[in-house]
Amino acid sequence: MHSDPCSSVGVLDRPIRVPESLWGDVAHDRLLIAEEDLKTGTAVREYDLAGNYRGRTLGLGLFKAQAEGIALWACPDGSGYWIATDQFKDRSLFHVFDRQTLAHLGAFSGETVGNTDGVWLQQTATKRFPAGVFYAVHDDMGVGAFDWRDIAKALSLRESCGG
């Protein structure tokens, strides 16, 4: 017997036409998938971890280029932030959403990071980035590093999960 593991993922509710990135959040039984198809509306769609579409689309109309890389800044109490990329050729824009409510909290960009597909968020401290770092691919040729302290300050976000 052959089983297609993707056959139940949103096929009846809201199919993903051109999936770019996905990220799961066990604490909220949530799977976010970046839909980059401009015809159906590039945005981030919310599913549960069983693959059922929850009827919610983040950033529809907010993303102007293509929804791309997704990262999660997660605290043990269930709070935190989602970051999703709006991939412009010349400069990517990174939208920040509340982890629990999915409300849009703002956006940031770098001076030169553009055409971003992949992203990674490291919450653990390093000597160079004591509050963590957000990495973003730049035009398939390099990687930009954003100090979490700078992101948090610019958008009035928390710098750490504690206190």
Question: Could you give the domains of the chain?
Answer: 19-155 (2.120.10.30)
Average pLDDT (57-82) is 92
Confidence at 3, pLDDT banded by 50, 70, 90: very low
pLDDT by residue (tens digit) across 29-38?
999 999 887 7
What tokens were used for 41? 């509306």
Q: Report d(CA 96, CA 21) in Å as an integer.
A: 16
pLDDT by residue (tens digit) across 88-129?
888 988 999 999 999 999 999 888 887 888 899 999 999 999
What are the Cα distances from residue 118, in Å, to 35, 54, 97, 130, 138?
14, 25, 18, 23, 9
**Closest of 64, 58, 55 to residue 22, by C-alpha:** 58
What are the Cα distances from residue 146, in Å, to 23, 79, 80, 124, 154?
20, 21, 17, 14, 12
pTM of the predicted protein model = 0.86
